[in-house]
Amino acid sequence: MDNPWLTVATVVTVGVLRLMGDVIRWLAARSGERLRARTLAELVSRTAPGTVLTDRRPDGAALTIRRRVEERDGGDRGA
Q: Is the pLDDT of residue 13 over 90?
A: yes
The pLDDT score that the predictor gives to residue 16 is 95
SS (H, E, C) 4-68: HHHHHHHHHHHHHHHHHHHHHHHHHHHHHHHHHHHHHHHHHHCCCCCCEEEEECCCCCEEEEECC
The pLDDT score that the predictor gives to residue 52 is 84
Which residues lie closer than 8 Å to 76 by C-beta, 6 or more apart? none
pLDDT tens-place string over residues 25-68: 999 988 988 888 888 878 888 888 888 888 888 888 888 888 88
What count of Cα atoms within 13 Å lies in the side-chain half-sphere of residue 52? 5
User: With bands split at pLDDT 50, 70 and 90, how would you rate the model's confidence at 79?
Assistant: very low
